[in-house]
Structure 1
């Protein structure tokens, strides 16, 4: 009896100490203000999806550099228990880390030690997830005030107290299982939580919506497919806008200098373009909006009348460039269609476009507008071979731009496809494609499904390339230490020399391939780098010959967060 009493007292003391430690940690949670978000590029944490409003994926930290990166060691790790694709970056405020898993679980850790502080599992028991494309992933969180925000597969935005995980509010934007979902990390701008809808493969009409960060009440909604009486509405056949696609499924960018929100828009529906003649605005475009109202200021369309699922959602990175002796306030993006674009971010005019992958469907440009090859447009009676495949020269995994080197680091796919038209009719909740397809190898890159390449943002020309026999499906992180980090499909976090592309370090083999996005942060003067291993996403589902490659088929799955430091 004395022993039992002693054990009970010991357990009680341990519980009280844990509660006290948790309370002390909560006291040290620094609110994320508008000023901190605006200055996120210089913060010791990693306060948003791509670190700062420019979407640079670049950190000014120098503790880990080209001279000592070979000494990186794993300092903590965490197994999630999920076998689907793990795509979120660690988001860090002070010593608090927040990261999401597949199926909308949100984890809070002590960033320096890996101590799990709290866990929230969004209830998806009522949802079939039948219309989620591609894989049941989540790409991370946004921070504001004391709260952390997550978008969910059943179209909720959930706000939770960053200290405790207690729900502050939640709001559903659209019904679940009707062809829409949300997989992106939200973006907070001036007290508004901004998200976009997925669903281009199901004929959903995409939109971007802003909610009040404190209450969750809707502030504005901007459809990505205009109605007939709106600008761009005449680029669609009668009635087609209602099922026009245009998912906005990746996180946008904010230009604080011009107070402009920039967001990428996905593919039109159905895929077969002969069923919807016209440019089909604003699909496959970047749109510039007023963040207070959502009103569109300008747009640039990467692929007019897209029939190859080339999307336009890839992140837009804000950077100043010097092109042919002229200074430009630019945005740069590596588009799914295989072209690397530099666009004037003040008015949407094209500065230049250069191929970064084999690209045949988008054949060139006239007066700043892309032109497509009519011979490479499929019909119900015609199959075509074209490059890149619908997976793109680059898919969702983000680039990084280093202001020191003036290089953009681009995770690249080397695939082509055969594609042919098919009959289709719209029915809510069913795929709305109208095409059959097969992903095949790019003949110009035999034995090479992927690569990492560096592109000079001042010229659009390639500076270096690192070939990969496996697909390269991880995001990029660059630092002032002269390094570029990214994860490989064979399960390593790799550190490249930012100027030359030389591999300076590989982590020990992790338990799964990497499609996650690495991030870096500093706590008490010590720099950390974290990344998810957890193979999944679109490649193993829709990868065709690539997915059937034995080396790709044998990539193990299973979510595992790794954190490294010197």
Structure 2
């Protein structure tokens, strides 16, 4: 056996060990948390029914449709545990449905104008998730009864898009904020401080908090007279991962909203017991971004300094933990298109790989949500890289093993062909894998499955069509949703469709789709 093959075998065993460390006894085919397991693999190694030989037989089994809400879009990647699917809808409800039939088991209604944007985690008999008011809730897994709720931040526009991860009786979650996204020059900017929280999973009480930026101080006013605060921002958009052997939490951070300082664009390694920094690696020398930077009327006066630093190249993607030749590594994707790999214990840089040309003032070209590791290869997708491209990388060196661009006919076939000015060949979601297969969706509305050895497309389904929901509502598909990716569990594939970046018109709500053999 070659050294590389041996390393791959060790990595696969490590992935299984990290999965076992979730702290609850889930059947091996379940998908209980956003990253699938503590290591962030997004790999279901126990899926043996959907294979390269059978994937072409996948058929739509059911659709769950949402009420038509203007401007709404689905974000919440499902969790699958013990035959039940848990997810948030774009209508302000949280659902538990039968994984095989889509039949509703229970529904939890959020307050008016509230929506779940993260994916839930299921552990210890509870379902945990956050919302757009930065409130984290725990529901009874069996009944949907509210057990506790905790608001992580009172700053206006604070939001939880980070999916909670459960470890040793606590959930760990990040908080971010949208106050830098307004075009209103009269609004003070900016007072938000990003943070990572450890919350007691049984009671909802805060155990510790790590702030990513010092307290903002007023340093004067903007030209409009609105108060100017610095430094600020550094939200935590993505979901953490945990090494249970070393009790280390890893998570990436966002850009400054104003000023320059703190742990912006940084991969953090924190002690899970107290939040203390074990190491941190900052991947950008500066990155301060405000929506007004993109508006030529205001950019010179309202775009924060330093000039040229309005990049939005943060680490919004969840990390991956993996082992190569006995060395434990942690990798993370950046919105600039770079995938970074560090020694998991020391933070020493091991390798970096640039996969797309950076896009200033928006950061949409690169790695957006999450990547996957199947014990052999890393799988990384770029988004608006003209076209978005799916890569398989050697985990030891970052060398490209294969790449597959978004198929050229994506915007000229199927439902997207009717909207040529709206469609883009962009791989939006986080990447998912199972043995021999890679799952990735696109803004062209098509969900695809690729051969993990070659990158060849093995199966395609166009979601830009009408659906009759099993819940009695009419639905319609669109761009495959970001904020998560495909979930593969127990011979089924679950996909949210109808993402905001390609709002294909319809008078119907969007839908969650379930495919099986």
- If the TM-score is normalised by the length of the shorter chain, which range does it land in? 0.7 to 0.9
In structure 1, the residue matched to 2:404 is 466
In structure 2, the residue matched to 1:560 is 511
In structure 2, the residue matched to 1:54 is 39
Using the TM superposition, name which of 462-471 and 332-341 deviates more.
462-471
Contact residue 210 and residue 218 of structure 1 kept, 8 A: yes
The whole-number CA distance in structure 2 between the counterparts of 1:175 and 1:392 is 28
In structure 2, the residue matched to 1:339 is 338
The whole-number CA distance in structure 1 between the counterparts of 2:91 and 2:256 is 26
In structure 1, the residue matched to 2:283 is 302
Q: 1:54 to 1:186 in 2, by over 3 A?
A: same
The whole-number CA distance in structure 2 between the counterparts of 1:64 and 1:156 is 37
1:530 aligned residue (458, 480, 494): 494
Deviations 1:507-534 (A, max 9, x none): 2534222024111112xxxx11111112
Question: Aligned ranges for residues 485-504 of structure 1 at < 5 Å?
Answer: 485-504=439-458
In structure 1, the residue matched to 2:324 is 321
Question: Aligned ranges for residues 354-503 of structure 1 at < 5 Å?
Answer: 354-359=353-358, 387=359, 390-403=362-375, 406-415=376-385, 448-468=386-406, 470-480=425-435, 482-503=436-457
Deviations 1:207-238 (A, max 9, x none): 1112111111111111111469xxxxxxxxxx
- Unpaired runs of 5+ in structure 1? 1-33, 128-135, 229-239, 360-386, 416-447, 541-551
The whole-number CA distance in structure 1 between the counterparts of 2:173 and 2:91 is 18
Shift of 1:453: 2.0
Shift of 1:490: 2.4
The whole-number CA distance in structure 2 between the counterparts of 1:301 and 1:107 is 38
Shift of 1:42: 7.3
> SS at 1:205's partner residue?
coil
Contact residue 472 and residue 489 of structure 1 kept, 8 A: yes
- Does 1:71 find its partner at 2:52? no
Give the TM-score, by structure 2 length.
0.76
Deviations 1:140-177 (A, max 9, x none): 1112211111111112111111111111111222226x
Shift of 1:345: 0.7
The whole-number CA distance in structure 2 between the counterparts of 1:493 and 1:85 is 17
- Does 1:198 find its partner at 2:181? no
Shift of 1:498: 0.6
The whole-number CA distance in structure 1 between the counterparts of 2:199 and 2:143 is 22
- Unpaired runs of 5+ in structure 2? 1-18, 181-189, 217-227, 288-308, 407-423, 465-476
Q: 1:244 to 1:124 in 2, by over 3 A?
A: same
The whole-number CA distance in structure 1 between the counterparts of 2:164 and 2:446 is 28
The whole-number CA distance in structure 1 between the counterparts of 2:25 and 2:41 is 11
1:512 aligned residue (478, 500, 504): 478
The whole-number CA distance in structure 1 between the counterparts of 2:455 and 2:74 is 26
In structure 2, the residue matched to 1:268 is 256
> SS at 1:413's partner residue?
coil
Using the TM superposition, name which of 140-149 and 194-203 deviates more.
194-203
In structure 2, the residue matched to 1:544 is none
Deviations 1:446-501 (A, max 9, x none): xx342222222222122222222522112211111x01112222222211001111
The whole-number CA distance in structure 1 between the counterparts of 2:20 and 2:316 is 27
Give the TM-score, by structure 1 length.
0.70
Q: 1:555 to 1:350 in 2, by over 3 A?
A: farther
The whole-number CA distance in structure 1 between the counterparts of 2:146 and 2:154 is 21
Q: 1:116 to 1:62 in 2, by over 3 A?
A: same
Contact residue 225 and residue 241 of structure 1 kept, 8 A: no
Deviations 1:348-384 (A, max 9, x none): 110011211124xxxxxxxxxxxxxxxxxxxxxxxxx
> Greater CA radius of gyration, 1 or 2?
1
Contact residue 336 and residue 392 of structure 1 kept, 8 A: yes
Contact residue 118 and residue 131 of structure 2 kept, 8 A: no
> SS at 2:22's partner residue?
helix
Contact residue 63 and residue 512 of structure 2 kept, 8 A: yes
Q: 1:167 to 1:38 in 2, by over 3 A?
A: closer
Contact residue 451 and residue 465 of structure 1 kept, 8 A: yes
The whole-number CA distance in structure 2 between the counterparts of 1:59 and 1:449 is 28
In structure 1, the residue matched to 2:296 is none
In structure 2, the residue matched to 1:311 is 314
Q: 1:479 to 1:39 in 2, by over 3 A?
A: farther
Contact residue 463 and residue 497 of structure 2 kept, 8 A: no
Contact residue 321 and residue 457 of structure 1 kept, 8 A: yes
2:125 aligned residue (130, 146, 153): 146
Q: 1:507 to 1:410 in 2, by over 3 A?
A: same
- Does 1:172 find its partner at 2:151? yes
> SS at 2:97's partner residue?
strand
Contact residue 69 and residue 505 of structure 1 kept, 8 A: yes
